[in-house]
Amino acid sequence: MSAYAVLPFISSRTNARPVAARSCVDEVYARVLDAIVEQRLPPDSRLSEERLGREFGASRLQIRRVLSLLTYQQVITLQANVGARIAVPSDEQVREALHARRLTELALIPMACRQAQKHDVDHLQHLIERQRQAHVSHQRGLAIRLAGAFHLHLAQMAGNAPLAQFLANLMPMTSLALARCSQLPQVWQQHVAMLNAVEKHDEATAVALLSQYLDGLTPE
């Protein structure tokens, strides 16, 4: 494997035009994270600021903001004179991230149950259907991203912005736990049951189902 991982989904572009700072940062962040979750960028692959900047027409400052965020989320490691590499989290690191996620989501889901509205239920049903389709068509990365989107929307429904943001920062690391499964579980089926409980404002059942779901992500 080359010392520098190449983003396979980016075509080479010459004279690439810089885009607005925010949209560039969002685009680079989303696409690099997608590639990591889908393992198109293998664990321990090296990321080059120069390569990313050239491919996206982004400045080094913008690229560094993306790498800084991914470092904060423990998705990559960033070291002076070494550069950025895709993280290879240990089982213990995954357990710690999942424990933090458990504490956060178990606090949020009862609030989501109490505040669930029809438009929220409709949106979650749409996410579940997209998850099902992704699973059937073996779109592993998409299925994992949609699973995360389901839980983040539940967090937003709870109405506690700081906790929802904390969960959003944990999600990339815990998504890696799903990505490492040799056989991706049919998460969408678990989400159907969870949504039924939320729609009925059944806090106890929703908490139990969420806890069971997170148990399935925890390394042995």
Question: What tens digit of pLDDT does each residue of 91-131 get?
Answer: 888 889 899 999 999 999 999 999 999 999 999 999 999 99
Instruction: Give the H or E element holding residue 46.
Output: strand 46-47
As a whole number, the mean pLDDT across the chain is 82
**Is this prediction's pTM over 0.85?**
no
The CA–CA distances, whole Å, from 142 to 83, 145, 150, 157, 171 equal 28, 5, 12, 22, 14
Given a contact cutoff of 8 angstroms between Cβ atoms, the answer to whether 62 and 107 are in contact is no
Residue 160 is predicted with a pLDDT of 95
Q: In what order do the strands lie in the sheet with 83-86?
A: 46-47, 83-86, 76-79
**Domains observed in the chain:** 21-86 (1.10.10.10), 91-217 (1.20.120.530)
Question: What tens digit of pLDDT does each residue of 43-60 get?
Answer: 888 888 888 778 767 788
Which residue type is seen at 46? Answer: R
Pick the range with the lowest mean pLDDT from 113-122, 135-144, 154-163, 207-216: 135-144
Question: What tens digit of pLDDT does each residue of 96-107 get?
Answer: 989 999 999 999
> What does R_g of the chain's alpha carbons equal in angstroms?
18
Task: Name the burial class of residue 82, with classes exposed (0-12), middle (13-18) and buried (19+) by CB atoms within 10 angstroms of its CB.
Answer: exposed
Contacts of 54 (CB under 8 A, 6+ apart): 13, 16
